[in-house]
Amino acid sequence: MARATKAEKAQHLNAARGLLKRQPAGPDAVRQLARDFDLSQRQAYRYLEKASQLDRPVEIPETTIPVTLKLPPRTVELLRKYAKSSGLTIGETVTAALKAFLLGETSRHSARFRPAQQQFRKP
């Protein structure tokens, strides 16, 4: 059996949290969660344990696709330094930077790139 993705784990936690709001934790809750998501009872129990500690639903992350980039060493150094100091992963940092750039949310050089950015904007 394949491991659950981050999105699937978030869905399982949110379902477990919702289940706990409707009924007390116990064997019935474990069996229902296991049945609903085709989990082992041990996995369902662990999701219910974690869900019992949540004060709000878990955000379901967007699916990602691996991409390889060739960047100058200085850019990679700056990227790693920024990611480490911000507490973000390199992927999160690159995603945020690219979104800001493509959606025109940067002030630096924004006039220079504005025509190309327009084609990427959502209607």
pTM exceeding 0.85: no
Q: Please, what are the averages of pLDDT over each run of 10 residues along the chain (123 residues)?
A: 87 95 89 95 96 93 90 95 93 92 68 48 53
For residues 102 and 112, what is the distance between their CA atoms, to the nearest angstrom?
12
Q: Where do the structural domains in the chain lie, given as residue ranges?
A: 6-51, 73-118
Instruction: Convert the pLDDT of each residue in 62-82 to its tens digit.
Output: 888 999 999 999 999 999 999
Instruction: Report whether 30 contacts 42 (CB < 8 A).
Output: no
Q: Give me the pLDDT at residue 119, please.
A: 46
Q: Which long-range CB contacts under 8 A does 36-43 form with residues at least 24 apart?
A: 37/11, 37/12, 39/12
The predicted pLDDT at position 107 comes to 55
Query: What pLDDT is attached to residue 106?
Result: 55
